[in-house]
Structures are given as C-alpha cells and as structure tokens.
Amino acid sequence: GFKMGIVGLPNVGKSTLFNALTRTAAAQAANFPFCTIEPNVGEVNVPDARLDALARIASSKQIIPTRMTFVDIAGLVKGASKGEGLGNQFLANIRETDAIAHVLRCFEDGDVTHVDGRVDPVADAETIETELMLADLESIEKRRAGLVRKLKGNDKEAQQQDRLLADAQAAIEDGRPARTVDVDAEDRRAWKLLQLLTSKPVLYVCNVSEEEAATGNAHSEAVAAMAAAQGNAHVLISARIEEEISQLDAEESEMFLSEMGLEEPGLDRLIRAGYALLHLETYFTVGPKEARAWTIREGTSAPQAAGVIHGDFEKGFIRAETIAFDDFVACKGEAGAKEAGKMRAEGKAYIVKDGDVLHFLFNT
C-alpha cells in the first residue's frame, strides 16, 4: 500500500490530526476495522463517492473502499539530523514513506507553546526542510564513499548511483531539496531506490483554528504562496475540528460541518491531496457481492492492475472487460453498458484509466 508520513515540529497538531484520521467513522467501516499496526501507524479508507454510486446501481452487498496508510512521525526537532530528539529512528521512518504530509502550525494560541516562541509556518517549514537536507547530505556522503571501490571496478550500477547521488548533493549544497533535481526517465527507478528524504513529494497541511477552517488566515496564505513557488501542494485543515468530527456519526458530522461553513471533512481533502501528490488512481470491481476500489499508479497497464488483486490475475491475464465510470452510471449498470456498446475488451497493452470499472479474464 501507499504510505504517507506525517511530520512537523512539536506542538503543531500532528497527533491531533493523526488521531482524527484513524479514529474517524470512515476508518472504522465495518469491512476493515481500523487496525493499529503500531501505535503510530494507521490505515484509513479513501473516501470516493463514485464507489457508493456504483454499489447502489449494482445493489452490491458490500462496499470496500481502497486504503491508505498514515504514519505519525514524531520527534523532528532542530538538530534531528545530528541525532537530537528521536534522531535516526525518526529519519528511518521517513525513508520508508512514499510522501510527506508536513503539518504547519497556522493557529495562534498563547496556551500552546511553540518550540521557537513564535508562530511562523514558513520558517518552520524551512527548519524541517533544512534538517532533512542535512540528513540527506550525510547519507549521500557516506554512500558515495562506500561506492568508491565499485567505481574503480567500472560497475555500471555503481556509476549510475554515484551520478545520481552527485546530482542530489549538488542541489542540496546549493540549498535546494533533492526533489528539485531533473531525473531522466531511465534513471527514475534507481533514483527512487536512493530513498532520499528530500526527494519525496511534500504536502503542506496548514493547521488553522476552528474559526478559520473555511477561510484560512495570513499564515496559511503565506504557506500557500511558498508551496506554489516550490511546486508543492497544500491543504487547509483544522485538526481540532477533525478531532471533533471523528467522534460524530455521519448525520451529526454533516450538521457540524455546515455550521462551520465546510462542505466536507478536511480529512477527505487531505487524503485526496495525498492521492494526487502520489499520482495515484482508482479503478473499481463491481458485482452483486461487493463493489470495491483498488489503487494503482498513473500509467498502470491492465495486467499490472489485475496484479493488485492477485498475482495470478497478472500472470494469467487474458483481457479486461472495461466500462468507464460515467458510462456505467449513464447506462445504469453492466448490462445496460454492454447493450449500448460501452463495454470494451482491452488487452495487455491497455493503460487503465481512473474510474474504470474492470472485470478481468485470466487463465489459472
């Protein structure tokens, strides 16, 4: 599955947000009760209204949303790269994630101490990015030193690694995170395997007060400008509101949201933003037994998409009967879509599109 690490300075609202994410009614849906893998790891359902629509049309007995993993990575302070705070353990936790949700304190509250004594989310973002860049630099230098012998032996893989590490090092020494490096298509795999902390995509989460959840404030606007300049994403959230919503049932939370001037829980937006950030897409399998959503990366072929369900589906792939979501809805289901000629038989080369309703045929 896909994993998003929640980072931020102490007291910015990370735990509040993480608890809301993992305790929410959606996370506890009947099919997959929220499971605590570790105290700081939670799996949440990815909200998708399309799945509900498909299940209604097909009278599916069960609805099984796709899932995303969040990891609460506490302990990032100034000096983390030097082993202060939780230091290395913390950095190892980030290394294993696919993307970073960086929570920034955008709320004023004299009762909640700020580690640097002032509310300045842009400066906080720089503090954390600097720690991550220092940690990357250290690991780059170590790894390049470890490659010297292989380079003498003309090892092609080592040459590629060293070249990519050198590119990252040059960027960081120039004050830029590794994600600003232009990586050629043929180097992408090796680049990803380097697991550099600052190469991961970042989503800034502006934690604002309850009153400012709908409008934002000067702090969150400063973050939005910074994110735009960096090419990163941002979302506006009130961790406190999310905490309250997570304790309400669906009807109560809808009323509460509308009182706050909000259309949907911030968590839904957060999860969707994470999806977009990771270039993830969803396809569906729909039948009377269940309607289910599956996660794939953009550009996934039909056999690979089948492999997400089961390895055998990929190995024995014959073809995928495919109906676009809109056609499925317009034709009121599979039979109607078939009749209207909207069901296509797609082969191995087909690139699955977001929203496709698929039925795989395969050899066993």
CA dist., res. 143 & res. 178, Å (int): 15
332-to-57, 294, 340, 348, 355 alpha-carbon distances in Å: 6, 21, 11, 27, 15
Pick from 2, 3, 16, 216: which binds ligand GDP (CB under 6 A)?
Answer: 16
Minimum CB distance to ligand GDP, residue 178 (Å): 25
Q: How many C-beta neighbours within 10 Å does residue 287 have?
A: 15
Looking at residue 1, its amino acid is G
Tell me if 13 contacts ligand GDP by CB under 6 A.
yes
Residue 78 counted as an annotated binding residue: no
Minimum CB distance to ligand GDP, residue 74 (Å): 6
CB-wise, 128 or 172, nearer to ligand GDP? 128
For residue 62, give the DSSP letter: E
Residue 13 counted as an annotated binding residue: yes
Looking at residue 330, its amino acid is A
Stretch that binds ligand GDP, among 40-48, 76-84, 146-154, 235-243 (CB under 6 A): 235-243
Residue 12 counted as an annotated binding residue: yes
Tell me if 21 contacts ligand GDP by CB under 6 A.
no
CA dist., res. 176 & res. 147, Å (int): 24
3-state secondary structure of 277: helix
Q: Report the site for ligand GDP in 172-211 (rule: CB under 6 A).
A: 207, 209
Minimum CB distance to ligand GDP, residue 78 (Å): 15
Pick from 33, 62, 92, 109: which binds ligand GDP (CB under 6 A)?
Answer: 109
Minimum CB distance to ligand GDP, residue 262 (Å): 14
CA dist., res. 313 & res. 305, Å (int): 9
Minimum CB distance to ligand GDP, residue 269 (Å): 16
9, 124 in Cβ contact below 8 A?
A: yes
Percent helix, percent strand, percent coil in the chain, to nearest 5? 45, 20, 35
Q: Which residues bind ligand GDP (CB under 6 A)?
A: 8, 10-16, 107, 109, 112, 207, 209, 238-240
